[in-house]
Amino acid sequence: MALRLEPPPCSSSPSIFPSVRASNNGVKLYSNPPPTGASLTLVPPKFPLNHRYIRRSHPDAAVVSATTSIIGSVDGENAEPPPPPRDGNSPSISAEVSSINANSKDSRKVVRVAWEKLLRWSRSWRSKAKTDVLERTSKVVVLGGGSFGTAMAAHVAERKAQIEVNMLVRDPHVCEAINEKHYNYKYFPDHKLPENVIATTDAKAALLDANFCFHAVPVQFSSSFLEEIAAYVDPSLPFISLSKGLELNTLRMMSQIIPKALKSPRQPVVVLSGPSFALELMNKLPTAMVVASKDKKMAGAVQQLLASKNLRINTSSDVTGVEIAGALKNVLAIAAGIVEGLNLGNNSMAALVAQGCSEIRWLATKMGAKSTTLTGLSGTGDIMLTCFVNLSRNRTVGVRLGAGENLDDILGSMNQVAEGVSTAGAVITLAQKYKVKMPVLTAVARIIDNELTPTKAVYELMNLPQVEEV
């Protein structure tokens, strides 16, 4: 009779007989007697033993690698299992250790070679993809003097000292502070702006001869703002939208709002999105974002303009996916904040965000978004940042709602816009249009409209029918 055990690494295979037991590190052989007449022979392993699996945990025990075969044979009534080697300098173990060291060196060499190949590919790709976008760019305009507009202005200005970065702002005091002291005291009083950042309240002067235009005006005010400056906008000027949300009355996204408001159907529009707080961008912390445009060359041009050692820029052609994910995550962040404000715990938070991600996917794919976009930077990446980090304005609104504060008081105390508050109602209208059930995001809209208390919303959500996960 012969018994052979060849478990996969870290398996927990059942015992062959009482003296053979599986363990996380392999198979332990104990000296308690096996069935009558059986003896054990250790066959040399097919591959060199990993030194982590060689352990003498007991004088009468040895650990055998998962690659070792074990043979049990009937040799007679009084057969005894051979004792495991007690000498640490056993030739077989020494050979194994030597083999392990050789394998470790080989493994390190494989990793090093793989990394060198990656670096060579990176250098080759950069040389082929390099354009003269940065060299040709002499002027950029940023519409809006908020936190993200200011951070983007500073980032572009630092890309090349010869670029003139014009910030179009409404507040003359902010304008004066930026030009004279190089500070936006409202949002970044401790961060000095590059001297090639210039503020103005004159739209015509700001837009004259600009190569790129960054739109950083809140979504709900964008149409009226753009209509005011439309006369000064060149129809070929590329617009890069930094605003996330849906226009409440029309359900339009920024890629639709900009051409419509400017009365320029062919106005080039690129959407910039992803997990990014303005403060961390100002602090030059590593950040990754995505630019989306149906025009691949335009997306590539913006990528070349912005990509730096601190900011990684991916490109995408899925404008709908990038925009709808960026809009809906703000509403989900309010829900996450409510859970935090109610002190419902980590289980609740994880369940709610997972459900919210599913709801975003259901609606976005119905609208034509790619599922891969929703798991990328503008989807999962932005959702994680906005739902779990205290710097999020929308999450802060939710936390305060959950703690019992009044929405008007919350918004009145903030110096920045929480887009999720306005977007919530528009999201529900979209859900009805595309026949998608969105219980979590609908609950947020009802709380904002004062139709439901946060506590009551949780109760109703927990009492929905138990269904199959999709």
User: Could you tell me which residues are beta bridge partners of residue 64?
Assistant: 27
Reading the block at residue 201, the tokens are 């309240």
- Residue with tokens 């392999």, as numbered in its chain: 26
**For residue 109, how many other CB atoms are within 10 A of its CB?**
10
Name the residue type at position 138.
S
- Is residue 437 annotated as a catalytic residue, yes or no? no
Do 425 and 448 touch, CB atoms closer than 8 A?
A: yes
Give which of 325, 347, 342 is closest to 441, Cα–Cα: 325
Reading the block at residue 283, the tokens are 């602090």
d(CA 78, CA 36): 8
Backbone angles phi, psi at 198, to 5 degrees: -120, 135
Give which of 244, 242, 258 is closest to 306, Cα–Cα: 242
**Runs of H (alpha helix) within 289-318:** 296-306
d(CA 332, CA 415): 21
Contacts of 131 (CB under 8 A, 6+ apart): 300, 301, 304
**Cα of 404 vs its chain's centroid, Å:** 30
**Cα of 381 vs its chain's centroid, Å:** 2
Q: How far is CA 113 from CA 118, 125, 307, in A?
A: 9, 18, 27
d(CA 304, CA 313): 8
d(CA 399, CA 393): 10
Give which of 79, 84, 73 is closest to 29, Cα–Cα: 84
d(CA 156, CA 167): 12
194: region left, alpha or beta (phi > 0 left; psi from -120 to 50 alpha):
beta
Pairing of strands 287-292, 311-316: parallel
From the list 329, 435, 437, 456, the catalytic residue is 329
**For residue 412, how many other CB atoms are within 10 A of its CB?**
8
As a dihedral over the C-alpha atoms of residue 77, residue 82, residue 83, residue 87, rounded to 10 degrees, the angle is 160
What are the catalytic residues? 329
